[in-house]
Amino acid sequence: MAEYAANGETPDVLFWVGCAGSFDQRAQKVTRSFVKILQHLNIRFAVLGTEESCTGDPAKRAGNEFVFQMLALQNIEVMNSYGVKKIVTTCPHCFNILKNEYPALGGNYKVVHHTTFLQELINEGKIKLTDATQFKGKKITYHDSCYLGRANEVYEAPRAVLEALDAELVEMKSCKTKGLCCGAGGAQMFKEEEHGKVRINVARTEQALETGAQIVAAACPFCNTMITDGVKGKDKQMDVKVFDIAELLAAGQGLENIVL
Task: For residues 12 and 112, state if they share a domain.
Answer: yes
- Give dist(CA 242, CA 248) in Å, integer: 10
End-of-domain residue from the set 65, 99, 118: 118
- Give dist(CA 56, CA 40) in Å, integer: 32
Q: Which residues 6+ apart lie within 8 Å of 222 measured at CB?
A: 20, 91, 93, 145, 182, 184, 185, 189
Q: How many domains does the chain have?
A: 2
- What residues form DSSP beta bridges with 45? 13
Amino acid sitting at position 14: L
Q: Which residues 6+ apart lie within 8 Å of 154 measured at CB?
A: 113, 115, 116, 148
- What residues form DSSP beta bridges with 140? 169, 215
In the chain, how long is the greatest CA-to-CA distance? 58
Query: CB–CB of 177/103 below 8 Å?
Result: no
Going residue by residue through the chain, which has 260 residues, state the pLDDT in tens, using 9 for 90 and above: 999 999 999 999 999 999 999 999 999 999 999 999 999 999 999 999 999 999 999 999 999 999 999 999 999 999 999 999 999 999 999 999 999 999 999 999 999 999 999 999 999 999 989 888 889 889 999 999 999 999 999 999 999 999 999 899 999 999 999 999 999 988 788 878 788 888 999 999 999 999 999 999 999 999 999 999 999 999 999 999 999 999 999 999 999 988 77
- Residue 251 sits at the vertex; the CA angle it makes with 161 and 175, to the nearest 5 degrees, is 35
Domain assignment of residue 259, yes or no: no
Domain assignment of residue 123, yes or no: no
Domain assignment of residue 224, yes or no: yes
Task: For residues 104 and 51, state if they share a domain.
Answer: yes
Residue 165 DSSP one-character state: S
CA–centroid distance for 128 within its chain? 21
Domain at 203, CATH number: 3.40.50
**Bridge-based pairing state of the strands 215-218 and 45-46:** unpaired
- What residues form DSSP beta bridges with 113? 89
For every residue of 181-205, DSSP letters joined together read: --S-TTTGGGSPPPP-SS-HHHHHH
Query: CB–CB of 16/98 below 8 Å?
Result: yes
218 phi-psi bin (left φ>0, alpha ψ -120 to 50, beta other): beta
Task: For residues 247 and 186, state if they share a domain.
Answer: yes
Task: For residues 133 and 219, state if they share a domain.
Answer: yes
Q: Which domain holds residue 71?
A: 2-118
Domain at 44, CATH number: 3.40.50.1860
Query: CB–CB of 1/212 below 8 Å?
Result: no
